[in-house]
Amino acid sequence: MAVNLLGNSDADARVILNVGGTRFETLKSTLKKLPATRLSKLSEQLSYYDPILNEYFFDRHPGVFSQILNYYRTGKLHYPTNVCGPLFEDELSYWSLQREDVEPCCWMTYTKHRSTAETLSILDSLELDTVRSSKQEVLKKFGWDDNYEYAQGRLPKYKKMMMIIWQIFEEPRSSTVAKVVTVISIFFILVSILSFVLQTLSMFRITEIDFVNVYVNKTTTDRTPTLNRQQVHPTFDIVEWICNSWFIFEIVVRFIVSPCKKDFSKSILNIIDFLATLWFFFTWALIKLNVNDNEALDLLSTIRIMRLFKLFNHHPGLKVIITSMKYSSSVLWLLIFFVLIAVAIFASLIYYAERMTTKHPDENMFTSIPDALWFNMITMSTIGYGDYYPKTMLGMLIGAVATVAGVLIIDLPMPIIVESFANFYTHLRARSKLPKTRRKIGPAETLMKKRTAITTIDNVQSIKLLGQASKTSMFGSKTMINNNRMSSMA
C-alpha cells in the first residue's frame, strides 16, 4: 500500500484507476458519493489492484468511464455520443449504475437504440431476407426437432417430400423450382385479374337480341329486334377455369404440406384466396341456373382482385409498407378521430349558418346535418365533388376554414407515418448489405495469477532502497563531473 507522506486522511487519498489503458485519478471521497457501486467498494485486497503500480486496472471502455467518473464528481450522468447504446448499458451494469440515472437531455439519444432493436426484431419476424431455411429450421417449423431420429436425417420419405414441397411453395427464392412456381403463380394472378377487367368491356361481350312481332291496330309489322341480355365471351370462361384450376391446386397443396393447419387457415391471404376461388364456382353455378342477373353478386366478384395482396410475399418492400402502416396504426386512429370531430363541428356550423342567412329556404342546399356532414367530409379531404356547396357569405367563409383545417389535420401526422416507413426501409437496406455469416468471438480464457501480498514494511524497505540508489547515482554523477573538470584543466 502506498504510504501517505502528506498525512492526509484515507478519504482524501488519491486513487489511480487504469481503465482500458487510460489512467484516471480522483479522490476516495469522490467514489464514496454513490454507495453500493463497484467503485465505492475499492480495496487493496481485490484482484484488479496492482500494488506495484499502486493502481486499479479495469479492462473496460475508457470513453464511457470518463462520463461515469464525471457522474461521481458532478452527480449528472451524460450519454457519450461516440458509443452504441447497448455498450453504454453494459458499462453501466458493470459499474453497478442504473440507466434511469441518465440526464433528460441525453435520454432521447440514449434510447434510440431501443427503437432500432425493436425495428430489427420486427424485420426478423417478417423473414424478408430468408433465401432458404436450413434443415434444422425446417424441422423446427414442423415440430420434428425433438425427435432424435428425425434430427439425424432419418426421416420417412413422405415427410422429406413434405419439407421439399413446403420450401418450394413458401420460400420463393429457395431453389430454381421454387422460382418457377412463383413465376407461374404470379402469372395466373395477373391473367385472372386482367380477364376480370377486360370482360366488362362491351367489345368483349356477346349481345343476345330477340326478334318479336309488333301489332299496331291489329296489323302485323316487321320483326323488331329487342335486347335480351349480354354474355361474356366464352374465351374468358376458359381462361378463368385454367387460372382457378391452378389456384385450387396451389391452395390444396400448401394446406396439405403446411406445418400448422390452424395457422394456415387463419392467414388473411389464404382466406382471400379461398373465398375468391369459392366465389368463382358459386357464380358459375348461378350462371348454369340462369340466376346471375343480380348486380350485388357481380359486386362480390371483385374479391378476386384481392389476390394482388399475395404479391406481398414475393417483394420485401411491399411487406415493409404494410408493417409500417401497422406500426403507425395508433397515429392513424388518432387522425381519424380528429377528422371526425372536425367534420361534426363544421357540419353543424355550416348547416345553421346557411339556414339563418339564406333569404329563400328553397335555395338552401343543406336541408339536414347529414348533408352538411357529407359536404365537410368531401371538403376537408380536398376532393370536392361539387354536389353540395354553400351559397351565403358566412357559409363560404366556414367552408374555407374547414378546408384549411382539413389540410392541417390530415397532413400533420403524415411525417410520422413516413418516418416509420423510412425507418423500416433503411434498416432493411442496411441488413441486405450485411454478410450472412459473421465471426463469433468466444469467451477469453481466464488465467488467474496470484499476486504476492506486499506489506507496509516491504514498501518502506523498497523506498529506502530507492533512496539509497538515488543517493548513489547522485554521488556517482558528482564524481563524474569532478573527473571531467580535472581532465579539462589538465
pLDDT digits (tens, 9 = 90+) for 152-161: 667 788 888 8
- Average pLDDT over every residue of 255-261: 89
* Residue keyed to cell 447504446: 85
* pLDDT interval class at 476 (50, 70, 90): very low
- Average pLDDT over every residue of 156-175: 84
Average pLDDT, the chain: 78
> Residue 349: pLDDT above 60?
yes
pLDDT value at position 95? Answer: 94
pLDDT value at position 321? Answer: 80
Kind and range of the H or E run holding 146: none
* pLDDT interval class at 213 (50, 70, 90): low
pLDDT value at position 149? Answer: 66
Q: Please, what sign has the CA dihedral across residues 432, 437, 443, 444?
A: negative
> Residue 418: pLDDT above 80?
yes
Cell of 162: 413434405
Strand partners, 24: 17
Other Cβ atoms less than 10 A from the Cβ of 159: the count is 14
Cell of 159: 415427410
More confident residue, 361 or 352: 352
Instruction: Name every residue whose Cβ is closer than 8 Å to that of residue 459 and which is 6 or more positions away in sequence.
Output: 1, 2, 3
> Residue 490: pLDDT above 70?
no
- Phi, psi (5° rounding) for residue 60? -130, 180
Q: What is the DSSP letter of 77?
A: B
> Residue 410: pLDDT above 70?
yes
* pLDDT interval class at 472 (50, 70, 90): very low
Q: Return d(Cα 121, Cα 323) in angstroms, integer.
A: 12
> Residue 85: pLDDT above 80?
yes
Q: Which range has the top average pLDDT, 58-72, 169-183, 446-460?
A: 58-72
Q: What is the DSSP letter of 102?
A: B
pLDDT value at position 487? Answer: 39
pLDDT value at position 414? Answer: 83
> Residue 269: pLDDT above 90?
no
Do 212 and 223 contact (CB within 8 A), yes or no?
A: yes
pLDDT value at position 163? Answer: 86
> Residue 456: pLDDT above 70?
no
Q: Which range has the top average pLDDT, 43-47, 192-196, 422-426, 459-463?
A: 192-196
Which of 379, 378, 383, 412 has the alpha carbon at shortest distance from 397?
A: 379
Cα 103–chain centre separation: 27
104-113, 183-192, 359-368, 449-458: least confidently modelled range: 449-458
pLDDT value at position 121? Answer: 79
pLDDT value at position 2? Answer: 41
Which of 49, 54, 102 has the alpha carbon at shortest distance from 78?
A: 102
Cell of 222: 316487321
Q: Which range has the top average pLDDT, 114-123, 207-216, 282-291, 407-416?
A: 407-416
> Residue 139: pLDDT above 60?
yes
Instruction: Name every residue whose Cβ is closer than 8 Å to that of residue 236 and which is 6 or more positions away in sequence.
Output: 195, 198, 199, 204
Cell of 256: 396439405
- Average pLDDT over every residue of 256-262: 88
- Average pLDDT over every residue of 221-248: 79
* pLDDT interval class at 462 (50, 70, 90): very low
pTM: 0.60
Strand partners, 411: none
> Residue 443: pLDDT above 50?
yes
pLDDT value at position 482? Answer: 43
- Average pLDDT over every residue of 112-133: 73
- Average pLDDT over every residue of 356-369: 82
As a whole number of Å, the end-to-end CA separation of the chain is 52
Cell of 336: 381519424
Q: Return d(Cα 189, Cα 209) in angstroms, integer.
A: 34
pLDDT value at position 212? Answer: 65
Which of 5, 13, 16 has the alpha carbon at shortest distance from 52?
A: 16
Other Cβ atoms less than 10 A from the Cβ of 194: the count is 12
pLDDT value at position 3? Answer: 39
Do 326 and 312 contact (CB within 8 A), yes or no?
A: no
pLDDT value at position 128? Answer: 63
> Residue 189: pLDDT above 80?
yes
Beta strands 22-27; 14-19: pairing state: antiparallel
- Phi, psi (5° rounding) for residue 228? -95, -65
> Residue 454: pLDDT above 80?
no
pLDDT value at position 226? Answer: 64
State what percent of residues in the chain have pLDDT above 70.
Answer: 76
More confident residue, 454 or 203: 203
More confident residue, 211 or 283: 283
Which of 36, 43, 110 has the alpha carbon at shortest distance from 79?
A: 110
> Residue 169: pLDDT above 50?
yes
Which of 247, 242, 239, 264 has the alpha carbon at shortest distance from 185?
A: 247
Do 210 and 228 contact (CB within 8 A), yes or no?
A: yes
- Average pLDDT over every residue of 242-250: 92
